[in-house]
Amino acid sequence: MNVSDKKGLPVSFYQYGILLLFSIVFLLCVMLRPFGKEIGDSSFESYMISREEMEDLVSERRETENLLEKEETGLLFDGYEVPLEKERHIFYISQALACDRWRGDLRPYGAELSILEDEYAENLPEAVAEGHIFEAVLYTEDTWQEIGILLTGMPVVKIDTEREEPREYPIEDIDNYVFNSETRYYGEITIFQSGISAFSEEEEEYRIMRRDVCYHERGQNSALFSKKSYAIKLLDGQGSGRAESLFGMQRSTKWKMLAMYSDPNKIRDKVSMELWKEIAEREQQFNEKGPVMEYCEVLLDGEYIGIYGMMLPVDEKTLGLGRTDVLYKILDWYMPEEEEIRASIDQNYMVCYPVRIRYPEKNGQIEKLWEPVIKYFSCKYWNLDFAGYSDMVRAENLADYYIFIQTVAGFDNYLKNTYVYAEKADNVSGYRMITIPWDLNYTFGNCYVYEADNYTGFNPDASVNYVEPVQEQLFRSSPGGEADVLKERWNSYRADILSTEHITALLQDNMDYLLETGAFARDTDKWPEAGNRSNLSEVKDYVERRMCYLDEYFAGF
């Protein structure tokens, strides 16, 4: 028997009503759920229409090439403007590599969007690897424009320039006059990051970051290439530096974008930095962190400019330097004489080419900042003294550097392209010097050749020694037991992080990543004169022969 309320309606009526309401809601959820995805999880497939529907859509409207020229028309991804290659009308969207589902919310603005139905939508990893471009149109009530949507497995960096500012410094400000006179460009940078790093095994939160930016061209020989490298500085709204973590790397305001133009494989910088990182992580007594980088694709002012390495450079923050430490950057092959450094001190200069003081900033005590390197060069070059040289270095660090440069065959690093920092020490000189590599494009057989394309050649001779003669002499004379440290570390590293198998696996893993993201093919198409090559047979053979040679070489200490 049903019990009625005041209006005389039976309880069963409410039960049926509630059941009906829930049924309607459930059916709506099922109907609105696109291709089995969770609501809000994807909007990519929801824009897809059949070819017949696409033909009807465009037949009712006039084709135009001007729709995208309007600033108020384009695509948004999670609320941010999608990077657009203006010449080909292709939008670049970063998606997690090997992820079988779409991530993010795609919406048009200033027009409507329709995407032609495509079997690649059911196999996103294949679409990414093959660089497949989804055909689509943006349309208004009476016009339409054809566009393409490209999914990449690599992070995408979008830079939009708003103004430029020439930099001029007086000759008296010699450091800035020589090294910072490049035109500065100001604008906005947006970074679309579908994962933390190239080899992240876990699916990470999709991260998008937009900041003000200042950037300029960088490099010496690389400045001559058509594909430029850049130094960038992230800014806050007031023009001051703003530190951010990019791709899981340490927070910093300053970053480098390496074009890697001279490396036809696009892996030498990355693999070399990874190997040094693995070596440095073993060291607990002192900090010898080097540069690190992650791959990305870059669109600059609407032009696709290819694969870049977003690099965190070495500075006082990465090294955790204190107030009494001094950081030097060595830029070229030769070392200055003492009188040249004394002349720089007299002029209150922070540079005596090829040595630059990078930390601390000029504080009126220029002579104190030059003091460690004067003592170091004195025992190492000017008045050769192996006991003094031994006293001024950490044998463990110098052994690491020796082993590393020999392993990667650092053509451009055994006499230059190093950071050296001086730390206060309770020893004869009062300082210890720590050496760290940077600029690692001429490695694994590649070398500088003036007459060659891109100034790059390949030397197949795996028995060339890439080490300063004075450094080799220190370890052979071994006044402080350096030879024992060198052999112990070589044998330890060869068991794992410097095994031939590990090195060749790193080379192949990075190449696989470049290929599977589709980025390598795009960079090759953009810069055909760079001579990109994905076949690693030559470099792997070089590594195998190189490591066999080094086993014999280091056994001789």
Last residue of a domain, one of 129, 151, 173: 151
| Phi and psi at residue 384, to the nearest 5° | -50, 120
**135 in any annotated domain:** yes
Rg (CA), the chain: 29
- Say yes or no to pLDDT of 37 above 60: no
> Above 70 in pLDDT, residue 310?
yes
Q: What is the pLDDT of residue 201?
A: 53
Average pLDDT over residues 114-135: 96
427 in a structural domain? yes
How many percent of the chain have pLDDT more than 70? 90
Residue 265 lies in a domain: no
Distance CA 544, CA 541 (A): 5
pLDDT of 202 reads 57
Alpha carbon 470 to its chain's center: 34
Residue 418 lies in a domain: yes
Examine the fold and report which residue of 151, 182, 211 is the final residue of a domain before the chain moves on: 151
Q: Is 60 exceeded by the pLDDT of residue 165?
A: yes
Beta bridge partners, 190, equal 158, 210
Answer whether 517's CB lies under 8 Å from 296's CB: no
Helix-strand-coil split of the chain, %, nearest 5: 35, 25, 40
pLDDT tens-digit series, residues 349-362: 999 999 999 999 98
Quick one: residue 36, left, alpha or beta (phi over 0 = left, psi -120 to 50 = alpha)? left
> Is residue 161 in a domain?
no
Side-chain half-sphere exposure of 499, counting CA atoms within 13 A: 6
Q: What is the residue whose two structure tokens read 């990355």? A: 270
213-218's contacts with Cβ under 8 Å and 24+ in sequence apart are 213/159, 213/186, 213/187, 213/188, 213/189, 214/184, 214/185, 214/186, 215/159, 215/184, 215/185, 215/187, 215/189, 215/257, 216/182, 216/183, 216/184, 216/185, 217/182, 217/183, 218/182, 218/256
Looking at residue 10, what is its pLDDT?
A: 41
Average pLDDT over residues 303-326: 97
CATH code of the domain in which 351 resides: 1.10.1070
- The pLDDT of residue 195 is 66
pTM of structure: 0.89
The residue from 133, 151, 169 where one domain ends is 151
Residue 523 lies in a domain: no
Q: DSSP 3-state assignment of 424? A: strand
Give the residue from 278, 279, 313, 263 showing the smallest Cα distance to 293. Answer: 313
Nearest to 516 by CA among 529, 534, 503: 534
Residue 360 lies in a domain: yes
Average pLDDT, the chain: 90
Is position 301 within any domain? Answer: no
Query: Dihedral, CA atoms, 455, 461, 463, 467, nearest 10 degrees?
Result: 0
Q: Which of 43-47, 256-260, 371-375 has the lowest mean pLDDT?
A: 43-47
Residues of the chain with pLDDT > 90, as a percent, come to: 79
Structurally, the chain folds into a number of domains equal to 2
The mean pLDDT value for 206-223 works out to: 87
Which pLDDT tens digit goes with each residue over 428-444? 999 999 999 999 999 99
The pLDDT of residue 364 is 79
- Quick one: average pLDDT of 84-104? 91
pLDDT of 426 over the 60 cut? yes
| Rounded Cα gap, residues 506 and 490, in angstroms | 19
Euclidean distance between CA atoms 224 and 219, whole angstroms = 9
Domain containing 349 equals 321-500+529-555
